[in-house]
Chains A and B, each alone.
Chain A
Amino acid sequence: MKFGRVVGTVVATRKYEDLEGVKFLVVHFLDENQQPTGNFEIAADATEQAGPGELVFMVASREGSQALPEWFVPIDLAITGIVDEVEVETGPRRNEPTAHWYNLDEGD
């Protein structure tokens, strides 16, 4: 799943019948530091509670279409949660290897 920031809403009156009642939002994709990447997409809101300004996470492709109560509807991106808090590790365990990493060609 990826982070996104909801930046808008989409309304479509005439649409494929399985999309009836699905809320569509415009989301700006974010990187791991929650900074905008410049890529936008339209996501179906599976939480039914997301709105503009909120930090969310989303699942894409075939898994996205399984997030809604009515599954296998034709969508390829779904909002699956609203983020309360992200805690990023910045200590030594982030900066130092936590597995033995052998590169046999370099003789170590």
Chain B
Amino acid sequence: MYIGKVIGTVVATIKIDHLDKRKLLLVDMLDLKGDETGYYDIAVDVVQAGPGDTVLVIDEGNGARQILDLDPGAIRAVIVGVVDEVSIAA
């Protein structure tokens, strides 16, 4: 999992059935200082996140399929939380 920032929304009418009625958000991975890294992903949102939010992203297929109740499911990245606070101790 990683922490990212929602930097935009993606709209697609033509898409595979697994993505039907799913909200797609553009997420940029953050580093330990909270800065954008430029590594991005188009992720499915299940927590009503929106542009600008700091979010927790799972990037693993089995977890994604479990969350979205799909099998098979061609989805890897899912936004599973909106982050309030991060503390880095070392």
Chain A positions within 8 Å of B, measured between CB atoms, are 1-3, 31-32, 46-47, 49-50, 57, 59-64, 66-67, 71-72, 78, 80-89, 91-94, 97-105
Contacts and interface: CB of A to CB of B under 8 A. Distances in A.
A83 B11 contact: yes
Question: Which of A2, A50, A67, A101 has most B Cβ within 10 Å?
Answer: A101
Interface of B: 5-16, 18-19, 24, 26, 28, 32-34, 38, 40-43, 51-54, 61, 64, 72-77, 83-90
A39 to B, nearest CB: 14
A83 B32 CA distance: 31
A89 B13 contact: no
B32 to A, nearest CB: 8
